[in-house]
Amino acid sequence: MKRYLLKLLLFLSPILLIVGTYIVLDPFKVIWHYDNYYASSQEIELNRGAVSTKVFDNQNDTYHYDSFIFGNSASLAFYVKEWQKHIGNDTRCFHFDAMSGSVEGIYIKVRHIDEKGNQIKNALIVVDHIMLGRGGYQSHLYMQPPALTHNQNFWKFHWSHFLSFLNPKFLRAFFGYKLTGNFKPDMVEVLNGKHKMDYNSITNEMKESYWEQLIANDEFYTPERCAKFDGKQHPGTTDVAHIDKEKRQMMKEIADIFKRHHTRVKVVVSPFYDQVLINPADLQCLHDIFGKENVYDFTGPNKWNSDYHNYYDAVHYRPQVATEILNIIYSEPSEKP
């Protein structure tokens, strides 16, 4: 019996070593608790929705958040400090975003906040015509965190992260960088490089300070980066309709929660560089559910997307654009575009 157990242990030792290494190192930070998820190792892309949820759950009892920014990575351009100029400095704000966010993602976040018993005084929802068309992603970076699904996808979520760890490209880049500290060009497929963002662990806000410094030094808009804007604009184009019955129902439930909380809500449809207009049917749906006076459509050609210097890339606009948008949507109705 002992000999059998010894053989079994020897047979399983490689598997146990791999699993143990994954658990101890926790490269995607989905196993252990962290006071600051971005204090180190920003080279590894994390599931931003999972981080946002963990930070909210860990700190909500301390800060009692009551005002929330929802959206995808484009919503990071909206700074809490600028938002508070319009909603009051006494608000306790939290940036509840996710990478490649979706309608479902926003819905289950709002539901989660409501279930926690928080008051929702203010909500800023940042959407775009691409986001409205997104469904559920299966990649570990985009999966909904188990805390938002009542743990229905617990094993699938963690299994997906473990499989991503086992990817030979990731293992080679991860351990190569971990052991040498040198970032090689071929690692860019799976790692972020040494581009770091400033992170506020209280508001869960991330700022592209490094890129902004490059812009200030006239080092960001290189010929290679500028070439990525070529052919990205399609003025006069209207997107197809994306909001189906299921998404409409989720939006209605979001609106119902806001009504119960007497939430002051603003919905921003982002001014993407592509100049593609949101489909009128989708815009009408947003009007019907959240109120026309609370929805602001900035798609299509405008003063911002006429100049690529207002963007980091064809999707992500810079903070000064978001600040101007805040000034518009919280101004008098007569000034609404």
Distance CA(225)–CA(245), nearest Å, equals 39
Q: For residue 336, what pLDDT is reported?
A: 39
- Whether 303 is covered by a domain: the verdict is yes
Tens-digit pLDDT profile for residues 91-125: 999 999 998 888 999 999 999 999 999 999 999 99
Tens-digit pLDDT profile for residues 122-160: 999 999 988 888 765 668 888 999 999 999 999 999 999
Tens-digit pLDDT profile for residues 264-278: 999 999 999 999 999
- Whether 38 is covered by a domain: the verdict is yes
- Whether 173 is covered by a domain: the verdict is yes
Residue 14 has pLDDT above 90, yes or no: no
pTM of this structure: 0.91
Residue 195 has pLDDT above 80, yes or no: no
Structure tokens at 128: 């775009």
Q: How many domains would you assign to the chain?
A: 1
Residue among 89, 97, 166 nearest 126 (CA): 97
Distance CA(59)–CA(117), nearest Å, equals 14
Tens-digit pLDDT profile for residues 43-72: 888 999 999 999 999 999 999 999 999 999
- Whether 8 is covered by a domain: the verdict is no
Task: Determine the structural domain holding residue 298 and report its residue range.
Answer: 32-335
- Whether 191 is covered by a domain: the verdict is yes
Q: For residue 65, what pLDDT is reported?
A: 97
- Whether 179 is covered by a domain: the verdict is yes
Q: For residue 218, what pLDDT is reported?
A: 94
How many CB atoms neighbour CB 193 within 10 A?
A: 12
- Whether 188 is covered by a domain: the verdict is yes
- Whether 271 is covered by a domain: the verdict is yes
Residue 222 has pLDDT above 50, yes or no: yes
| Residue 288 burial by Cβ neighbours in a 10 Å radius (0-12, 13-18, 19+) | middle
Confidence grade of residue 334 (pLDDT, cut at 50, 70, 90): very low
Q: Please list, residue by residue across 157-176, b when 16 or more beta carbons sit within 10 angstroms of its beta carbon and e when fewer do.
A: bbebbbebbeeeebeebbeb
